[in-house]
Structure 1
Amino acid sequence: MSTESAHEDPAAEVTEPRPIVVRLGQIVVGNTLMGAAVGMLVAAGMGLLPLDVFHRAVGDRCGWTIGGAIIAVQSTLLVLNLALPVKPGIGTVSAVVIPAVVADLTLAVLPTPQVVWLRVMAMLLGGAMFAAGTALYLAAGLGALPRDGLMGAIAHRTDWSPARIRIGADVLCLLAGVLMINPAVAVANGSIGAGSVLLAIALGPSIASLVPLFTHRPHWNTRVRRET
């Protein structure tokens, strides 16, 4: 194939990593979306993700907001990362603070929807925002979430698959959160609900499909040159 045909063929697309400024922007925007999504899901009262069930349970037991509980839990996981050791990045540290602050701010300004269809819309929008925010964060490649870093370290030291470890972590967080606040209370306050099942099924594939969109920037007009 000639260099001209390679230049004209869309299949010969060349990709380059995004600049560091763009990746830092992805971290900020992604974490902000994740925090706002958590606030919306709490306000919707139709079910949370397993880790957020645990966050909320810790907050209820300690008298903290969910943001305060996120900082406490994620900081503990970050310390465990360092002890293993797992090298954190700027994205790891930002994930401890930004989603927590934004979640509390969202709950402070967002009225609790009373009508069922508004609650459903809040749950669906929150799930979509969480998927987009997580994909932006992961695509930046500037450090894993504290939980993901810990799971990666466990996978490295055992024969368990990452999927098996993630399922185990989700089950553990869910059971611990429900037991801390009583199953009946978890259902009554909206920590556990139909949304929990939907989020558990849909978020993984959604995030996986979105990450490639935020990872590279295409350059369609890059000419391949050879020196002869």
Structure 2
Amino acid sequence: MGRVMTRRLIQLFAGLLLYGFSMALLVEAGLGLDPWDVLHQGIAERTGLTIGTVVIAVGALVLLLWIPLRQKPGIGTVANAIVIGLVADASIWLLPAPDPMAARIAFMVAGVVLNAVATAAYIGARLGPGPRDGLMTGLVRRTGRSVRVVRTSIEVTVLASGWLLGGTVGVGTVAYALAIGPLVHALLPKLQVREPIRVAPVTSAS
């Protein structure tokens, strides 16, 4: 295994671990989650499952939707579907529930920022999109609609569904929606793993 692939794998799993931890921070803050996690939490509330278990189950169901979209998963896709849920559950169990509002706000801010770092890290590893990201890109390709329209449609749908099921929507949801795009945009160039440039050997003309 080359050094570049080793770095990509390390960065992928570091990003997924951090993503699960950042998700737990937002859950414990109780001030609102990102749209997909509002859905995950709503399903968890209705079923009695842990939110991490729901993240894994929903990820598996979303991957089934890749089949008609002819999307191909990578190592990162499969790891994303499993690791984030496991780490989120473990982190929620370990983290103390913040009581003062100042602590809850600190958890929320840290959760959003770390989520952006985590997202840039696992995307930058270039080992396959997460199930939900792949659903979006697959729909963009098949429908011809813009990324903005498809992503907004998906997120409004899952947010509304999650809220109706009892997921937490609040200031954290708004903060996530406003901050995650610019933060990932700024961080991704720094965490994008690039293949080394191969220079062809120079041969002397006879």
State the identity %.
Answer: 38
> Does structure 2 conserve the Cα–Cα contact (< 8 Å) formed by 1:27 and 1:91?
yes
Is 2:187 the counterpart of 1:210?
Answer: yes
Q: Counterparts of 1:215 and 1:160 in 2: how far apart (Å)? A: 26
Is 2:30 the counterpart of 1:53?
Answer: no
Is 2:178 the counterpart of 1:201?
Answer: yes
Q: Tell me, which stretches of 5 or more residues in structure 1 are unaligned?
A: 1-16
Indicate the residue corresponding to 1:88 in structure 2: 73
**Aligned mate of 1:132, from 111, 117, 122:** 117
Q: Tell me, which stretches of 5 or more residues in structure 2 are unaligned?
A: none
> Does structure 2 conserve the Cα–Cα contact (< 8 Å) formed by 1:71 and 1:97?
yes
> Does structure 2 conserve the Cα–Cα contact (< 8 Å) formed by 1:18 and 1:217?
no
| TM-score (ref. length: structure 1) | 0.83
| Pairs aligned (count) | 202
Superposition pairs for residues 77-226 of structure 1, below 5 Å? 77-181=62-166, 186=167, 191-216=168-193
Q: Counterparts of 1:110 and 1:120 in 2: how far apart (Å)? A: 15
> Does structure 2 conserve the Cα–Cα contact (< 8 Å) formed by 1:18 and 1:215?
no
Q: Counterparts of 1:83 and 1:72 in 2: how far apart (Å)? A: 19
54-63 vs 78-87, which deviates more? 78-87
**Larger of the two Rg values belongs to structure:** 1
1:70 is displaced (CA, Å) by 0.2
Is 2:49 the counterpart of 1:64?
Answer: yes
Q: Counterparts of 1:217 and 1:159 in 2: how far apart (Å)? A: 29
Deviations 1:28-66 (A, max 9, x none): 000001100111100001110000000101111111010
Indicate the residue corresponding to 1:5 in structure 2: none
1:142 is displaced (CA, Å) by 0.7
**Aligned mate of 2:9, from 7, 21, 24:** 24
1:82 is displaced (CA, Å) by 2.8
1:108 is displaced (CA, Å) by 0.4
